[in-house]
Structure 1
Amino acid sequence: MKRKAAVMLLLMTLGAASVSGCGKNNTTSSSSVSSASSKSASSASDASSAGSTSSDSTASEEYASPSDVDGIPVVDEEVDPAECVTLGDYKKLTLEKKVEQVTDDDVQTAIMAETAVTMDDPDATVQKGDTADIAYVGKVDGKEFDGGSSDSYNLVIGSGTFIDGFEDGVIGMKTGETKDLNLKFPDSYQSTDLAGKDVVFTVTVNAFTRPAENIDGWELDDAWVAKNTDYSTVEEYRAGKRAELEAANETTAENNLQDDAMKQVADSCTFTKIPKSYVTLGEEDYDKRYTSYLQNYGISLDDYLEQYADRATYNQEKATYAGTMAKSALLLDAVKEAEGWTTDDQDYQQILNDEAANANMSQEDFLKAANDYYGEDTVVRNIMMERMINMVLDNATVNTVTVDADGNTVK
């Protein structure tokens, strides 16, 4: 049976398969390791909470490549993967696929999210439940601080996303209005530099929307559905939305299943050493991901680290990413070697053909574009990773269960 792996070739992110937990070795017990993609370039964007900043770090600003990964020594010489990893039985896994049920409340919430109305009345004011597009600048002792500013952030009023008093301060504001909020960071705030400090946020409401159900006189009826959606009736609209949510939950369940499968494979293996070339692979990939992301904003990586980020924190996260990716790549190569896989195999070519078809390209054009942008080695590794996931799941015993939002099995 063919399954679409979570690691899609076009994403080119080896770590996104969440090959975590490869921590069982000759000196340490098995432990879970977060996905190599968990600290991606997306963290270069503005903080999701007003005033959030990186935690203090004692790491040196000069990057130091890790000499070990979770206690596994990194060695300079090139060593056959079979000498570095002892594989467990990856073809006899027992897995549980948990598909979250879609409730009537889920359908209603999804529909209400689609019926938000932009409040164009110049006299309309923000109220609880609205989503306000805001610009803000935070200052402590008259100085702006990292992570405390944004030109545009969509804040759900009442969500508790920002520090106490921020969202309450936005209530009653009009579109285009600017206001200073005199607040205080909690003593337990994650950044010790800001904890307990007085702060002034200068906030401007760019625009705001309101759930239609909160607008007097609005009603979800067939006439509204026919005018504003691709459906004719409320009943059809609800059924269509339910089908969308069920499809999304199925995709999530399949991705989680793949994550669980790869974690079990990883937990069953034993590492004795990691060639440095695998760590270098992760380090180069991390820098490349950040560089590619920052290009969207016309910023070089060096300028970003100099002006906007904490270099020591970046180095810490880079080393963590590199270590996780090194173990993922080494495990993949060990399986590939054990199975005798090559790029000429029928399964490999089938995945490649499917990816090219999904991109509406010939295989030749797809490979050229992918190789030019990502590099041939990365392309091969991602196809091999998808192949490994398919193999593991095809040989596993998978029990599908329906669960509620808390993960409890639904009878």
Structure 2
Amino acid sequence: MSTDADVIIVGGGCIGATIARELAADHNVLLLERDQIAGETTGHSSGIIQPQYQFPHLPKAGRLSFRFFESLDGHRNYEYTARELVNLHGPEKTEQVQRYTELVSRNGGYDTTWLSAAEIDERYPGVFNVGEESPIAGGMVYGRMGWVDPYTYTTTVSQDATDRGATIETGVEVTGLLVEAGNVVGVTTETGDYRAPEVVVAAGRWSRELVADHIAIPIQPQRFWHINLESETDLSQRVSDEYPQWYMDLDFGDGLPADLGLEGFMATFWRPEHTGELHVAGIEGLLGENPSVKTTVDEEFHLLLAERIADILDEFDEGRVTNDGCCPTGDAMSPDWLPIIDSPADGPAGLTIATGFSGLGLSASPIAAAAVRQLISGHGAPFSLASLSLDRFDDRSAEFAEPPFDVFDTSVFEE
């Protein structure tokens, strides 16, 4: 199948669409998506803009991300809402959190503040149970975070890409790469071949199998769940630019369903909704090579989660679940939680990979776009790509245990 494209992008989620927008200014871009734009993992994401959460060691990348999302505010139907994020913690981590907060602020240049439980209660009065039995000892406040609607954002940047000359074809499933004499020359699909000298694979968890005949990528699929809880307390008044989103490793003890593959603790986010309900979401962990992805959350876990949230929020009683679900496709995780954005030297020439965003791809999408431009055109990224390269992994097997992830890990900073 003939095409005039210079670059084929595989994947129409937030990463692929943002890359298409970036490259379309001076390349003939063809984006191929097997479903619809933002129809899979992106459409089920949280919408949190938090680049410093994943890239504390790359402050220039974080600033690029914030500038991009803020600059689009009011464009088409897209809106950007500034909103703080607070990482809460128990007493065992107070010293570590204080140190991490200092390093993020000093080395990363981010707006971060450590608050004790009493200071959190003073800053957000009436929200938390900070008495003697509260699990909260303090928290780290990210002063510059944001929220966008993932679907609206992705359709906005994809429309920008087409306005700049890109072609987007949906309902086209890419099945592999076309490689001749060590060079990428296009992709294969169920309906025919598309040819171009550059191919960017940004297909989430499917990226590994698409390039498997030519290079190995160490990623595994990862699933996320969400539920909405309705309480006697109407939380709609808590939806504002000033009211933050919250994060904490919640201790569920023996109550976590066995199929989650986790032991006791789970990374959990929550925020109030305009409906007055509380939206709660969390990471379920790795699913293995051939996951059977459920679409609902365990009923007993519903009840336990409501109890844990009620222990923390002073204004929330144990609410009933109004809806629940899991990301039906799963994102992809690398062995160190950082994405892989690279044109691997040991892969076919002309191949670029952007995958392994560990559920944080939305806020990383402008970073990925700048990095891919750097890899293809030799300019565009005001930050080092070394920590994102594929060759940082000696073992590229997909059979790795879920890597430990400490939100307050100080080792990411060089002293």
TM-score by length of structure 1 reads 0.21
More helix by share: 1
